[in-house]
A and B are shown apart, each in its own frame.
Chain A
Amino acid sequence: MSTAIDSATSLDPKAITQGGPDFGNHPTDFRTVQQRAWERFNEVPMPRRSDENWRFTDVRALTLAPFIRASEVSNERRRELSERSNGIPSAAGVMVFANDRLISASANSDLLRSAGVVWLPFEQAAREHPELLARHFMREKSALGSEKFAALHASQVKAGMVLHVPKNVEIKAPVQVFHWLDGENASAFPHTLIVAEDNAQVTVVDHFCSTGTAPALAVGVNDIVAGPGAKVNYVAIQNWNTATTAFHLNATTVARDAEVIALRLNLGGAFIRDEATSRLRGPGGRSEMLSVSAAWGSQIFDQRTLQIHEAPNAKSDLLYKNALNDTARTVFTGLIRVDEGAHKTDAYQKVRNLMLSDEAEANSAPGLEIEADDVRCTHGATSGALDDEEIFYFQSRGIPRRVAQQLVTFGFLSEVFERVPSAEVAELLSESLHRKLD
């Protein structure tokens, strides 16, 4: 947040805190939602030091003042960014957004073009499928501290992907979305909504990238609704530049026998705030919440999670791994809440911090709130440095210390990628992490 400068832009109508909702081409009903969100945004105060949800965070450094509505990117840049948006070659479909404008969309899979599937950029979905948004748009009230930023998102949103997969439809190859941020103090509000009906299956990969090194703001929401028996895999590769302030807010609901595996890879950003809520609605539901963060330089990764067990016999499993170098800081606070009657709940929560520098700081607060008696809940938090013996072993085999450290760090983090069912996606995650560690 050191990059956030207090400037005269706070009086600028382009300033995102001043300009009101961004109605875009949205229909009237959705504009009403945006207007209400804008009012909420102005009502809710900025986070304060005494807010439990902001414990360990330096809230004084948080400011939205410098950020402005991003302008359209040039045609030349559009072409360049489309070409740079690769990711997974065999993807079923790709959407590319730059500064919240769609610059390209292509479907390789006929399934995405088939009648039953809704696969649309946000603005088009708002016009053509208002019923989808009415049912699913940001239904989970933000309980982890970012209510203000969630409201800002709702008032400004116009980019991102809305994907609705009907009953029994299985989209095999991953669906990809790219969000690019370009320009000084530019802001983006990427939205991803995945709705999988009964027994549907889909994998989605979100990419978040910057074109340059200028400070910027992103307030993104990615919501997942998994119907009975559905299987959803979601991966976010966060690679904003190291001057970006970003909020990524997630709400996942898991119905009976559904399974959601969600993984965040945090590589970029100056200050990143992740909030993730998984709500287990039906028996047999399963939610895996995974995160890998490589915090270098003065990066701050601030992650808050909530696992809510409403139904009996459901399982949630959280694993967050951080490697911390230089003067980086990480914060993890998590809570498992088991409601009355959610018996036979199996909930797990683990955060592991690998300390690579004497100046790094890891804060962990894994929490449990249990109101049912027949449950199995465990959580754990560990923080420690690289094992000297392991490094010594590498060195005795002729591998230099620096390389050995890299390898061990990579091994520590990439272990989480094995939990992603798609081999291509796991490979992509490994490559992205390698680029940061090398």
Chain B
Amino acid sequence: MSTELLEPPTSVSPATQLEIDRSRGDFVYPESHEFDAGTGLTHSTIDYIADVKGEPDWIREFRHKALDTFLAKPMPTNWASKDLDNIVFDNIRYYLANAKRPTRSWEDVPEDVKKTFERLGIPEQERKFLAGVEAQFDSEAVYSNIKSAVADQGVIFMGSTEGLMKHPEIFKKWFGKVIPTGDNKFSALNSAVFSGGSFIYIPPGVKVKHPLQAYFRINAENFGQFERTLIIADEGSEVMYMEGCTAPKFETATLHSAVVELVAMKGAKIQYVTVQNWSNNVFNLVTKRAVAHEEAEVKWIDCNIGSRLTMKYPGVVLKGRKARGEVISIALAGDGQHQDTGAKMIHAADETTSNIVSKSISLGTGRATYRGLVHIPKHLKGCKNNTECDALLINQTSRTDTYPAITVRGTGNACQHEASVSQISEEQIFYMMSRGLTEAQAMSLSVNGFVNDLVRQFPMEYSVELKRLIDLEMEGSVG
């Protein structure tokens, strides 16, 4: 965090003055969290969260209904990884927050986190280009700030509960509409226990010059983070949002299950950049979807490097004529990791176009999976989809899968899909080594070359970060 972000947060704190039964939470971890919903998930957990947050009845109702949906839905193991069965929902803590909402100074950042930052090459100065920052530790944002110049343009940037309570006229209309509660088991779970995340509104015509950023960190063991993000870009507006995620390594698995909804009104542009670097015991099960109205553009740039199992298929519903959707996806699956990523493009209007480019790298015992869905219904004219997925396998034990699904109706549309799997060229490695590089350096260079054309599409600051992350992950992978 940069020093200029050190003022106390201006946002309201949850209604801490409420009389709340804290016996359960305090009993378990009194030393670190003032609010703790305890382990396991029942309707009283929901009430606890709603009480702490001081939410109106309609949100509480929404949560309760979502819990019922979550409990009723089966695990998607008929098609997804059996590893999902290893999530023990009863062992997870669903809400942890500190009432004091301290703003942490750079010095307060734990040593290993700070080291990670420095190794990633994100010194504080680099963060100055951001228009707004939110940092979430466990369930609640510990820091949230938006530059006054941006706020003066009418841009709203705040946490989920806060957004729903302060600006229901803006957010309630779309909340849970792009991704309904029952979309899948994990979106239902998120809808039941969501906390934190960013609610953003960009007024018509406003082009936010600098990116808005959120930084998510899981700090507690056995914890589930369920942030909720909703971005509404009104007519003709533009915004770029970036998120980064990390977590320390615990003995036990941690769950991150977010829901991200984007709404691009007529002619609006949203770019959503994710660099996910959870530690490799995090189950990262995220639902991300956008609605693009007439002539709007939504671009997901999704990079998955960390986690134990990631299942994430950012989607765009192309609802208005000439809307455009794009997913750029990079996945790096190291030892013991499974990156199950992909994209969904639902064409629902004429002349809509979509583009999916996915590159994955599997090393060690890592497994990278691409899963895609492209749907072009009948009576639509001039729709186009292009899908390319390339996979690179580094070691003999590495694995990669590709499962696209494409439905096309009618004669007015075109769809093409291509995928390839290859390995690092021995000749290339040999050549580089003969020029004095070590084998590790040569491999790293070769992998960076494989993803280079995609990395260049990232904002500059992130492409630097990404290259270093790939270097980090490649260390010691040869042999």
Across the interface, do B404 and A381 meet the contact criterion of CB distance under 8 Å? yes
Across the interface, do A378 and B420 meet the contact criterion of CB distance under 8 Å? yes
Q: How far is the CA of A400 from the CA of B14 in the complex (A)?
A: 73
Q: Number of contact residues on A: which range applies?
A: 35 or more
Distance in angstroms from B212 CB to nearest chain A CB is 37
Q: How far is the CA of A357 from the CA of B407 in the complex (A)?
A: 14
**Partner of B378 from A358, A375, A378, A379 at Cβ < 8 Å:** A358
- Find chain A residues with CB under 8 A from B423 CB: 373-375
Contact flag A368-B408 (CB < 8 Å), given A361-B378, A375-B423: no
Across the interface, do B78 and A51 meet the contact criterion of CB distance under 8 Å? yes
Interface-side segment among B54-62, B248-256, B297-305, B409-417: B409-417
Interface-side segment among A60-68, A107-115, A382-390, A419-427: A382-390
Contact flag A370-B378 (CB < 8 Å), given A377-B420, A383-B413: no
A221 within 8 A of B: no
Interface of A is mostly: strand
- Find chain A residues with CB under 8 A from B396 CB: 340, 372-373
- Find chain B residues with CB under 8 A from A376 CB: 420-422
Distance in angstroms from B92 CB to nearest chain A CB is 26
Please, which residue of chain B has its CB at the minimum distance from the CB of A361?
B409
Across the interface, do A368 and B412 meet the contact criterion of CB distance under 8 Å? no
Across the interface, do B407 and A361 meet the contact criterion of CB distance under 8 Å? yes
Q: How far is the CA of A235 from the CA of B256 in the complex (A)?
A: 52
B79 within 8 A of A: yes
Most B CB within 10 A of own CB, among A340, A362, A368:
A368
Contact flag A361-B408 (CB < 8 Å), given A370-B399, A378-B418: yes
- Find chain A residues with CB under 8 A from B399 CB: 369-371
- Find chain B residues with CB under 8 A from A361 CB: 378, 407-409
Across the interface, do B419 and A379 meet the contact criterion of CB distance under 8 Å? yes
**Partner of A358 from B398, B411, B417, B418 at Cβ < 8 Å:** B411
Across the interface, do A358 and B410 meet the contact criterion of CB distance under 8 Å? yes
Across the interface, do A368 and B402 meet the contact criterion of CB distance under 8 Å? yes
Across the interface, do B403 and A365 meet the contact criterion of CB distance under 8 Å? yes
Across the interface, do B405 and A365 meet the contact criterion of CB distance under 8 Å? yes
Across the interface, do B410 and A355 meet the contact criterion of CB distance under 8 Å? yes
Which residues of A, 328-368, contact B by the 8 Å Cβ criterion? 333, 340, 353, 355-368
Which residues of A, 54-92, contact B by the 8 Å Cβ criterion? 55-56
**Partner of B408 from A371, A375, A383 at Cβ < 8 Å:** A383
Across the interface, do A373 and B78 meet the contact criterion of CB distance under 8 Å? no
Q: How far is the CA of A371 from the CA of B79 in the complex (A)?
A: 18
- Find chain B residues with CB under 8 A from A353 CB: 408
Across the interface, do A360 and B418 meet the contact criterion of CB distance under 8 Å? no
Across the interface, do B401 and A370 meet the contact criterion of CB distance under 8 Å? yes
A6 within 8 A of B: no
**Partner of A380 from B78, B394, B419 at Cβ < 8 Å:** B419
Please, which residue of chain A has its CB at the minimum distance from the CB of B420?
A378
Contact flag A380-B405 (CB < 8 Å), given A370-B393, A373-B398: no
Across the interface, do A367 and B403 meet the contact criterion of CB distance under 8 Å? yes
Contact flag A384-B409 (CB < 8 Å), given A359-B378, A367-B404, A370-B401: no
**Partner of B415 from A52, A360, A384 at Cβ < 8 Å:** A384
A50 within 8 A of B: yes
Q: How far is the CA of A365 from the CA of B412 in the complex (A)?
A: 20
Q: How far is the CA of A371 from the CA of B415 in the complex (A)?
A: 28
Across the interface, do A378 and B405 meet the contact criterion of CB distance under 8 Å? no
B379 within 8 A of A: yes
Please, which residue of chain B has its CB at the minimum distance from the CB of A56?
B407
Most B CB within 10 A of own CB, among A52, A362, A373:
A373
- Find chain B residues with CB under 8 A from A365 CB: 403-406
Contact flag A385-B416 (CB < 8 Å), given A50-B78, A51-B78, A364-B405: no
Q: How far is the CA of A382 from the CA of B417 in the complex (A)?
A: 6
Across the interface, do A356 and B411 meet the contact criterion of CB distance under 8 Å? yes
Q: How far is the CA of A56 from the CA of B403 in the complex (A)?
A: 14
Q: How far is the CA of A357 from the CA of B379 in the complex (A)?
A: 10
Please, which residue of chain B has its CB at the minimum distance from the CB of A325?
B411
B139 within 8 A of A: no
- Find chain B residues with CB under 8 A from A386 CB: 411
Distance in angstroms from B334 CB to nearest chain A CB is 15
Distance in angstroms from A144 CB to nearest chain B CB is 15
Distance in angstroms from B404 CB to nearest chain A CB is 6
Distance in angstroms from A47 CB to nearest chain B CB is 13
Across the interface, do A368 and B421 meet the contact criterion of CB distance under 8 Å? yes
Distance in angstroms from B244 CB to nearest chain A CB is 30
Across the interface, do B407 and A385 meet the contact criterion of CB distance under 8 Å? no
B395 within 8 A of A: yes
Residues 283-311 of chain B: 1 if any A CB is under 8 Å from the residue's CB, otherwise 0? 00000000000000000000000000000
Across the interface, do B405 and A363 meet the contact criterion of CB distance under 8 Å? yes
- Find chain A residues with CB under 8 A from B400 CB: 368-370
**Partner of A357 from B393, B401, B410, B419 at Cβ < 8 Å:** B410
Distance in angstroms from B472 CB to nearest chain A CB is 22
For this complex, 12 residue pairs linking A to B, each with C-beta atoms less than 8 Å apart, are A52-B78, A359-B378, A364-B417, A367-B402, A374-B423, A376-B421, A378-B421, A381-B406, A381-B416, A383-B406, A383-B413, A384-B413
Q: A52-B78, A372-B393 are in contact. List 16 more A-B contacts (CB 8 A).
A: A52-B79, A355-B409, A355-B413, A356-B411, A359-B409, A363-B408, A367-B403, A368-B402, A368-B403, A369-B399, A371-B399, A376-B422, A378-B420, A380-B419, A383-B406, A385-B414
The 3 closest A-B pairs by CB, nearest first: A385-B411, A383-B408, A373-B393
Instruction: Identify the B interface with A (CB < 8 A).
Output: 78-79, 376, 378-379, 391, 393-423
